[in-house]
Amino acid sequence: MAQNNLAEALPLTPEPQQRPNIEHPQPRVRPQGQPQGQPRRQKLPVSKFEKCLVTACGLVLAVLMVCVVSAKIAMSNAQRDLQTVNQTTATYQNRNTNAQQEINELQSRSRLDKIAQKQGLSLENARIRTVNK
């Protein structure tokens, strides 16, 4: 590949750089009562509008905090009610399952045959008809 003459010839000895003359300002003389590291600060007065604004923001913040707490309480109550309903539903489902199982046991073919034999009844397949609705 060709090098496309991208390299430049640099002089081997660096040229001295010239700096402009900068005059250093004289340090200020500080009063003896003031520490060196902290500048003197002056407090600004707070206006009536700023006081009203801070008060209004504080009231809004307090109302929002009360709303958040009441919403959390309402959510906890709703969750508790939902849990109660779910438990009741599960109880009724278990009862229904148990009742259906008992019905199936009472309707079983073997049980019905045993009861028929105790009563002196017999089963003749020629006389049985299947009816579908």
Phi, psi of 56 (to 5 degrees): -65, -40
Average pLDDT for runs of 10 along the chain of length 133: 61 63 60 63 89 97 98 98 98 98 90 87 77 78
Three-class DSSP category at 52: helix
Q: What is the pLDDT of residue 10?
A: 62
DSSP code of residue 119: T
**For residues 86, 91, 95 and 97, what is the CA-based torsion angle, rounded to 10 degrees?**
50
pTM for the full predicted model = 0.48
Please tell me the distance from the alpha carbon of residue 6 to that of residue 99, in angstroms, as a whole number: 94
